Structure 1
Amino acid sequence: MTTLDAQTFGPRFAGRLGMLTGWRRYAAAMLAGAVATLALPPFHLIPLLWLSFPVLLWLMAGAEKPKQSFWIGWCFAFGHHVPGLYWISVALFVDIGRFWFMLPPAVLGLPAVLALFAGLGCLVHHLLVRRFDLGSLSSALLFALCWVAMEWIRGHAFTGFPWNLIGYVWMPVLPVLQSLSLVGTYGLSLVTVAVAALPVLLGDAKRPLGHTIRPALAGLGVLVLLAGWGGWRLAADGQGTVPGVMLRLVQPNIDQSLKWAAGAKLANLRKTIALSAAEGWENVTHVIWPETAIPYFMQVGGAGESQVLAQSVGRIAPPQGALITGVPRLGQDGEGRERYYNSLMAITADGTITASFDKFHLVPFGEYLPLRDWLPDGINAVAASAADFTPGPGPRGLHLAGLPAFSPLICYEVIFPAAVMPGDDGMGRPRWMLNLTNDAWYGRSTGPYQHFAITAARAVEEGVPIVRAANTGISGVVDAYGRVTARLGLGVEGHIDAALPEATAKPPLYARFGDWMLLGLMALVGGLVILFRRHGYLQK
């Protein structure tokens, strides 16, 4: 391509996108959103963001009315979330005869609702750009602010769903990923969207190519600087492990259709025990099973069947150690009513339950039905029986013999930035996190890969390693810098024995200040928007 072609291609392409109307405009937005999905786990085609976000901005530039920008943004996000979240519908096929009516809401309804946030962000962007007559550079940075503000709201509103945040695209690029320790995933999303949006300036026909390409190159320079700092951070770590701790993570790989089958539950439990007792057990200090690995309801301190079951599975616990397992728990509230909990229990070799933890952030429609009293009788949550699960009190640290204090997280709880560690309870900072999960619901879809990547991000944000035991995978250990030190792939039956990495000496900035770091970064980007507008840099 000649220099003249390079200088004219961008404006021609941008102009054609801006002139699209009707269904063609919205179809182009959906396609751009779908392309952006390929930058996320497990594909990580990150450069595609440098195409998707400029296309979105060029489409919005052709919108004359605010509602048009809203629908362009909505279509982009809808096209982004349908392929990004299709795996949710896989869970319904475990019992499609009961849950067939939930298939359209899962495949199309949830993406449609989540897309409202992006649509509102694009609407606000349209109004501010027109109100303050912003040029392409200020507009691109403002767009990043609007996008991430809506990501944050999506992650908190109505219990929140912060899945597939743009910052997760960097999971395989460890030097850049270290930025999570400073500004968290939302902050890395802000940097990524801002840098990826800057090529929108190449569509400006009023200025020579040299002027419009400089901001894009400067954005890449920011990523290079972050990568340089992240590389230094990685090189400075000694990669130590906790002395005297050897964990055995058991992955029984039990299909969800068989997990709760009456004729298979005992065989499933025996299979998990046998995997736990495999060669090398004598070198292990603690055995860890996945979420609901014990397929029977148990009671803490209960007698009868609960006591017999605890004694039976406790035999696999190493001497002076414990079996840590997921199990559904039966309990009572203050008024004596029966309650069900998705729990973690630590069981010693003599069958004593020494600690327990109840999942506090339940999955809407999966473990409980919002507004159940307003719904017809007979409609149940996908993973619950006739009664919903009850949430536990919240994050807290657990202390077990032979282990540093840890923060337990069950399945879905790990996806929430800045909400995975207990507050100051006087017991000190947990030195690791433990995530028990059952991703068998989602088969061999992209969901388990996304979940594992999200789990790894929490380790970098908090500066502590995370250990993950999953029924069908992906199980593994991730150190405090995001490095995977042990891993058992999706759909593999077996176990892995792994040392426990050390936590960072001090909590990183994001672990200490949470999303205040994001707010500071947003203020900085907002200041650049004002600065560039005030000085007329690449203004209209």
Structure 2
Amino acid sequence: MSMTTDRRPVATLKARLSTDPWRAFGLGLLAALALPPFYLLPLLWFVVPALLRSLARAGGWRRAIWIGWCFGFGFNLLGLFWVTEPILIMARQFWWAIPFAAPGLAAATACYLMLPALAVYWIRPVRLTAAAAMVVMFAGVMVMANLAQQFLFTGFPWNFWGADWAIPGRLGVIMMQPAAYGGIFVLTWLTIIAAGLPLLGRRGWIGSAVVMLLWAGFGLARTAGGRAADTDLTVAMIQPDFAVPGSFTQPALQARWQRDLAMTREALAAAGAGPKVVVWPETASPALLQTDAAARAAIAGIAGTTPVLAGSFRFGATGKVYNSLIAVDGPGPAVAWYDKWKLVPFGEYTPKWIPFKITPGSGFSPGPGPRTLHVPGIPPVGPLICYESIFSGEIVDKKDRPAWMLNISDNAWFGDSTGPHQDFATTRLRAVEEGLPLAVDTNSGISAMIGPYGTVRASLGLDRRGILVHRLPVALPATTYAKFGLTTAGILSFYSVAVAVILLIVSITL
């Protein structure tokens, strides 16, 4: 007597397990091509519906989570491959980390895609209205996932879909304007809604076109008054293009110092008459400007009482080390300083939940948080140091709103990879969100003066030594996002989920 077993269901399950995750991984790679500096945004009108279809037919919640993670892994693997660049620079010491850095970080950040994937599977379509519910649910829970990514495990708010719209030129300025009301999060939400509606078929494509027209119309209307006027303050930024990690021998440090001073002299000459300020990028000064009177006197010998805002290290009273911006306006004591408070995990410090040390010594200590500096001769300024500029809604002291923002950075560690371009695009959004002009001064580029609508007034590209001089634009009144910050993102996420649930209920009862 023979027995046969129908293996078709098992074979079908194995086939789906093998194809859907790989398809999701490929879709994630395609979605990453919409990020800066590629900006292939039309791909999202294929990616989002395809991903939602895969989640709807997942066959189980565990597989939906797996598909979401595979999509996130592909998306972040391509979007974050630039993190390997600093390791390659110090390959003799950290060669072992090369195979793990980008894949490991991509695997961790991919976890944030699991919750939106699960939500979509739960609300998978029965009728057309439920398909619409899937799109709205995915958009709302993605905003929730972005908020989690900004705060959990020290926070790493990178590769948000809203940054796709920081396109160079006028088009980017137009499409970024909703950020003044909901930050980068509303741009992510709008992107998913517009790109996901084609899931509904012909009517969905029409709806997507309407969304895009309204979006562009809003941007045109908000910027119709033209660019903001300029103040009488000239900001002169030096871009010294120091090599990294650089030598710490006395001759090398002295050569670095002399370049700082020589470029300061050039910057002052280029700035001409009238009120001005000179800016040095992150850690540009090899001297400890807060305590080194001779160094301040050397600067004063060139700049006089013109304020110089310089990246420098600072030692606190208890011996803690800070990555700081020091303001000097003569040979006397520093008039103000700001300590970086959003430190780079594993680069500037080792998180407490890691059982072994990675950063040398004790690493840097975090400052107290956003602060407005009041330096004689210049409008109140809100400093940011490098990594801090990616934290939407957390960069300005709301009780003491500045007249402009200044981001000093050192992107030389990332070469001419996608990293500096992505960082600049995300940083540019901060100007729109806060309604404030933003000066960006980096060691090796991209340095720029950005107006409060996100318009790049002037810039210096990557891997160049030079001086960037431009008048400081006038700030706009505080935006809705500047007033309410991340609360707007939370409200957007909550109401999106509520609307999605209502649409699902309607589809069931019809």
Q: TM-score, normalised by structure 1?
A: 0.86
Once structures 1 and 2 are overlaid, which stretch shifts more, 525-534 or 482-491? 525-534
- Correspondent of 1:316 among 302, 316, 324: 302
Which amino acid letter does the alignment assign opposite residue 58 of structure 1?
R
- Correspondent of 1:380 among 353, 358, 375: 358
- Correspondent of 2:325 among 344, 355, 363: 344
- Correspondent of 2:159 among 145, 149, 164: 164
Q: Deviation of residue 443 (structure 1)?
A: 0.8
Q: Is 2:207 the counterpart of 1:218?
A: yes
SS at match of 1:155: helix
Q: Is 2:470 the counterpart of 1:498?
A: yes
**Are residues 493 and 402 of structure 1, via their aligned partners in 2, closer, same or farther at CA, if it must alter by over 3 Å?**
same
CA RMSD of the aligned region, Å? Answer: 2.4
- Correspondent of 1:240 among 210, 229, 242: 229
Q: Is 2:286 the counterpart of 1:295?
A: yes
Q: Deviations over 1:73-117 (max 9, x none)?
A: 101110001111111111112211212233233111111011011
SS at match of 1:293: coil
Q: Is 2:97 the counterpart of 1:102?
A: yes
Q: Deviations over 1:438-472 (max 9, x none)?
A: 01111111111111111110000000011111000
Once structures 1 and 2 are overlaid, which stretch shifts more, 517-526 or 116-125? 517-526
Provide the rounded CA distance (Å) in 2 between the counterparts of 1:217 and 1:19. Answer: 37
Q: Deviation of residue 321 (structure 1)?
A: 2.0
Provide the rounded CA distance (Å) in 1 between the counterparts of 2:165 and 2:331. Answer: 45
Q: Answer whether contact 1:18 1:58 (CA < 8 A) is retained.
A: no
Provide the rounded CA distance (Å) in 1 between the counterparts of 2:282 and 2:102. Answer: 25
SS at match of 2:326: strand
Provide the rounded CA distance (Å) in 2 between the counterparts of 1:281 and 1:432. Answer: 18
- Correspondent of 2:497 among 526, 529, 536: 526
**Are residues 290 and 37 of structure 1, via their aligned partners in 2, closer, same or farther at CA, if it must alter by over 3 Å?**
same
- Correspondent of 2:33 among 38, 43, 50: 38
> Partner residue of 2:112?
117
Q: Deviations over 1:181-219 (max 9, x none)?
A: 011111210111122112223xxxxxxxxxx21123212
Q: Deviation of residue 269 (structure 1)?
A: 2.0
**Are residues 372 and 168 of structure 1, via their aligned partners in 2, closer, same or farther at CA, if it must alter by over 3 Å?**
closer
Q: Answer whether contact 1:18 1:59 (CA < 8 A) is retained.
A: no
- Correspondent of 2:393 among 412, 418, 423: 418
> Partner residue of 1:479?
451
Stretches of structure 1 lacking an aligned partner (at least 5 in a row) = 1-16, 202-211
SS at match of 1:277: helix
> Partner residue of 1:469?
441
- Correspondent of 1:508 among 479, 484, 500: 479
**Are residues 312 and 78 of structure 1, via their aligned partners in 2, closer, same or farther at CA, if it must alter by over 3 Å?**
same
Q: Answer whether contact 1:148 1:189 (CA < 8 A) is retained.
A: yes
Q: Deviation of residue 351 (structure 1)?
A: 4.8
Q: Deviation of residue 331 (structure 1)?
A: 2.2
**Are residues 399 and 132 of structure 1, via their aligned partners in 2, closer, same or farther at CA, if it must alter by over 3 Å?**
farther
Q: Deviation of residue 237 (structure 1)?
A: 4.4
Q: Answer whether contact 2:55 2:120 (CA < 8 A) is retained.
A: no
Q: Where in structure 2 are the equivalents of 1:11-90 lying within 5 Å?
A: 21-90=16-85
Provide the rounded CA distance (Å) in 1 between the counterparts of 2:403 and 2:140. Answer: 34
Provide the rounded CA distance (Å) in 1 between the counterparts of 2:386 and 2:484. Answer: 25
SS at match of 1:353: coil
**Are residues 96 and 28 of structure 1, via their aligned partners in 2, closer, same or farther at CA, if it must alter by over 3 Å?**
same
> Partner residue of 1:400?
375
Once structures 1 and 2 are overlaid, which stretch shifts more, 62-71 or 346-355? 346-355
Q: Deviation of residue 230 (structure 1)?
A: 1.3
Provide the rounded CA distance (Å) in 2 between the counterparts of 1:85 and 1:182. Answer: 28
Q: Deviations over 1:404-450 (max 9, x none)?
A: 111111011111111010131xxx42111010000111111111111
SS at match of 2:407: strand
Once structures 1 and 2 are overlaid, which stretch shifts more, 152-161 or 278-287? 278-287
Q: Is 2:362 the counterpart of 1:371?
A: no
**Are residues 187 and 256 of structure 1, via their aligned partners in 2, closer, same or farther at CA, if it must alter by over 3 Å?**
same
Provide the rounded CA distance (Å) in 1 between the counterparts of 2:270 and 2:380. Answer: 25
Provide the rounded CA distance (Å) in 1 between the counterparts of 2:229 and 2:102. Answer: 44
> Partner residue of 1:174?
173
Identity across matched positions, percent: 34
- Correspondent of 2:340 among 359, 366, 369: 359
Provide the rounded CA distance (Å) in 2 between the counterparts of 1:130 and 1:192. Answer: 21
Which amino acid letter does the alignment assign opposite residue 194 of structure 1?
I
Provide the rounded CA distance (Å) in 1 between the counterparts of 2:352 and 2:331. Answer: 43
Q: TM-score, normalised by structure 2?
A: 0.91
**Are residues 100 and 498 of structure 1, via their aligned partners in 2, closer, same or farther at CA, if it must alter by over 3 Å?**
same
Q: Answer whether contact 2:324 2:339 (CA < 8 A) is retained.
A: yes
SS at match of 1:536: helix
SS at match of 1:525: helix
Q: Answer whether contact 1:122 1:147 (CA < 8 A) is retained.
A: no
Q: Where in structure 2 are the equivalents of 1:116-135 lying within 5 Å?
A: 116-129=111-124, 135=130
Q: Answer whether contact 1:321 1:401 (CA < 8 A) is retained.
A: no
SS at match of 2:258: helix
Provide the rounded CA distance (Å) in 2 between the counterparts of 1:30 and 1:223. Answer: 27
Q: Deviation of residue 490 (structure 1)?
A: 0.7
Provide the rounded CA distance (Å) in 2 between the counterparts of 1:149 and 1:273. Answer: 47
**Are residues 273 and 18 of structure 1, via their aligned partners in 2, closer, same or farther at CA, if it must alter by over 3 Å?**
farther
Provide the rounded CA distance (Å) in 2 between the counterparts of 1:115 and 1:257. Answer: 31
Which amino acid letter does the alignment assign opposite residue 241 of structure 1?
D
Q: Deviations over 1:230-283 (max 9, x none)?
A: 11111124521112x111110011121326455422212212222222242543
Q: Answer whether contact 1:176 1:223 (CA < 8 A) is retained.
A: no
> Partner residue of 1:200?
199
Provide the rounded CA distance (Å) in 2 between the counterparts of 1:236 and 1:520. Answer: 30
SS at match of 2:382: strand
SS at match of 2:383: strand
Which amino acid letter does the alignment assign opposite residue 450 of structure 2?
V
Stretches of structure 2 lacking an aligned partner (at least 5 in a row) = 1-11
Q: Answer whether contact 2:260 2:285 (CA < 8 A) is retained.
A: no
> Partner residue of 2:408?
436
> Partner residue of 1:536?
507
Once structures 1 and 2 are overlaid, which stretch shifts more, 141-150 or 178-187? 141-150
> Partner residue of 1:268?
256
Which amino acid letter does the alignment assign opposite residue 435 of structure 1?
N
Provide the rounded CA distance (Å) in 1 between the counterparts of 2:125 and 2:54. Answer: 15
Provide the rounded CA distance (Å) in 2 between the counterparts of 1:437 and 1:230. Answer: 29
SS at match of 1:469: strand
Provide the rounded CA distance (Å) in 2 between the counterparts of 1:67 and 1:406. Answer: 49
Q: Deviation of residue 528 (structure 1)?
A: 3.6
Q: Is 2:266 the counterpart of 1:285?
A: no
Q: Answer whether contact 1:19 1:62 (CA < 8 A) is retained.
A: no
SS at match of 2:148: helix
Q: Deviation of residue 371 (structure 1)?
A: 2.7
Q: Answer whether contact 1:242 1:501 (CA < 8 A) is retained.
A: yes
Q: Answer whether contact 1:312 1:351 (CA < 8 A) is retained.
A: no
Q: Is 2:185 the counterpart of 1:189?
A: no
